[in-house]
């Protein structure tokens, strides 16, 4: 899973800013956005490899048993810690 990778995004932003005295928000967004699209597809593939999600014959993705257990547990933790949105 990628709790650490979430942090890596923050490191990417810091590294991007460190290469110049200052950077506009739009520049950071533009450079990270394209990478983000790739990352999401890779994460989807990783989740499928780990057996947390499954793909139906019609091409749609759904949670597998383990994935649903994990999501239920994390949903409870999110409620306890008042985290509004994952990711």
Partner 1 sequence: MWLVLSLTGFALAVVLHVFARMGGSLTIVLSFLSVSIPVAVVLAALALWMFAISDESFAAVLVYLALCETYIFLFTLAANSVSVSLMMRLKSRPTSADELMQSYSTRAMVERRIEHLKSGGFLIEEHGQIALLERGRALVRAFALARGFFKHRRSLDTGVAEQDKSGQRSRP
For partner 1, the binding residues (CB under 8 A) are 1-3, 5-19, 21-25, 28-29, 31-44, 46-47, 52-53, 56, 59-63, 67-68, 70-71, 73-75, 77-78, 80-83, 85-87
- Least distance in angstroms from the C-beta of 48 to partner 1: 10
The tokens for 48 are: 């499928």
- Whether the CB-CB separation of 61 and 20 falls below 8 Å is answered with no
DSSP three-state, residue 84: coil
- Least distance in angstroms from the C-beta of 81 to partner 1: 5
- Least distance in angstroms from the C-beta of 54 to partner 1: 9
- Whether the CB-CB separation of 1 and 47 falls below 8 Å is answered with no
């Amino acid at each position: 899973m990628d709790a650490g990778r979430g942090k890596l995004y923050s490191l990417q932003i810091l590294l991007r800013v460190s290469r110049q005295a200052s950077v506009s928000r739009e520049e950071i967004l533009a450079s990270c956005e394209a990478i983000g699209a790739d990352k999401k597809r890779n994460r989807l593939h990783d989740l499928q490899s780990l057996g947390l999600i499954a793909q139906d014959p019609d091409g749609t993705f759904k949670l597998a048993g383990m994935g649903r257990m994990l999501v239920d547990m994390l949903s409870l933790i999110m409620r306890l810690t008042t985290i509004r949105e994952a990711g």
